Structure 1
Amino acid sequence: MKYFGVLLFILLSTSINAQDFSDLDKSPMDVAHIRNNDNSPMARIIYSRPQKREREIFGELVPYNTVWRTGANEATELTLYNDMMIEDYYICAGTYTLYTIPNKNKWTLIINEATNTWGTNYNPDLDIAKIPTIPKQAAAPIETFSIALQPINQGALLLIGWDNIYIEILMKNISSE
């Protein structure tokens, strides 16, 4: 009987604590990944996904002409498992941080050698690429900030979207040529 009482206490205290979801992260972490044709990894992006929640995003919550961590919480992390051409830039396999500078008519995607950074703890001396791109109008509003890697011939399109805007960046796998 003594063991039953101890077991009942453990079960009740565990179930009470396990049901407390009130302090969950408002911008949960997610991952986008893509594999090569031989099923080996090509690229992975780890990022946090803030919600629009009826807020004005670009130009307000995310100011124009300012370096943005490209998500929430920790800065967005890009791992390349192969050497890649990202637009016109040769990028060696490795782990990097992705930043963006949004603007109404032009965005800049920044690939930076810093890793494990919080927010916009940004050092421009560690930039290895600054890639200009034109933002596009999304077909429908994007409530949750999203990143995707869409497979294309020998590479991927990196898609970054939120609110009514998205950008796409061409990533070509050098190793598969």
Structure 2
Amino acid sequence: MKNLFTITLMVIALTFSTEAMAQKFSGLDKSPADIASYPSDYKVSEKLVRITYSRPQLKGRSISELAPAGKVWRTGANEAPEITFYKDATVGGKSVSAGTYSLFTIPGKSEWTVILNKNLNQWGAYSYQESADVVRVPASVSKGSESLEAFSIAYKDADNGAHMVLGWGTTRVSLPISF
């Protein structure tokens, strides 16, 4: 009887200790993280630039509600995107040293201002400091034929480099980058 009691007590203790030690995982992020790099070909291991960003969804809202014109926007969701240049580059006509920067934008009707900022690990645009800007450059705006529900970043080959293209809804923002 004493052994049965001891075994029962041990089984109960193990059951509760397993629950106490179990890892709790949060649900899926509503704005999942993504990475875009150039060259985009996955077979090319030496990348020139890579950006890590989160992808908000429109969900029936307008871009102007989520990224208001004339205001600094984190260019995605959650943390401000971080863009790494693996070698010195020219971004929108301005020299940028190899390194990692936060990416912000100021949306506009015919052009957006793209901002590379030296402060990393920033949540949203709440902690953005203009004094930490490395460059501010204009980027052209056009209209795409396909509407994108999720904010997306891709690279398009161009002379001496690429254009980083931000797409959301039918808005396309193109920033020239050369190496």
State the alpha-carbon separation in 2 of the partners of residues 126 and 153 from structure 1.
30
Contact kept in structure 1, 2:40 and 2:155, CA below 8 Å: no
Alignment partners' CA distance in 1, 2:92 and 2:48: 16
Q: What is the Cα deviation at residue 118 of structure 1?
A: 0.7
The list of structure 1 runs, each at least 4 consecutive aligned residues, that deviate by more than 4 angstroms after superposition, is 36-39
Instruction: Show the counterpart of 2:30.
Output: 26
Counterpart-to-counterpart distance in 2, 1:143 and 1:93: 32
Provide Cα deviations, 1:138-158, integer angstroms capped at 9, x if missing partner.
111111000012233431110
The alpha carbon displacement at 1:134 in A equals: 2.6
Q: Percent identity?
A: 38
Letter in 2 for 1:166: R
* Rounded Cα–Cα distance in structure 1 between residues aligned with 2:167 and 2:40: 24
For residues 130 and 119 of structure 1, the distance between their equivalents in structure 2, rounded to whole angstroms, comes to 18
- Using the alignment, how far apart are the partners of 2:40 and 2:51 within structure 1? 15
TM-score, normalization by structure 1: 0.81
Larger radius of gyration: 2
Paired residues, number: 163
For the 8 Å contact 1:36–1:42, the answer to whether it is kept is no
Check conservation: 1:69, 1:100, Cα contact below 8 A: yes
**Displacement of 1:39 after TM fit?**
4.3
Q: Give the unaligned 5+ runs of structure 2.
A: 1-6
Match of 1:49 in 2: 55
Q: Paired residue for 2:87? A: 82
In 2, distance between residues paired with 1:63 and 1:43?
27
Please list the CA deviations of residues 80-124 of structure 1 after superposition, one character each: whole Å capped at 9, or x if unmatched: 001001121000000001100001222101111111111002110
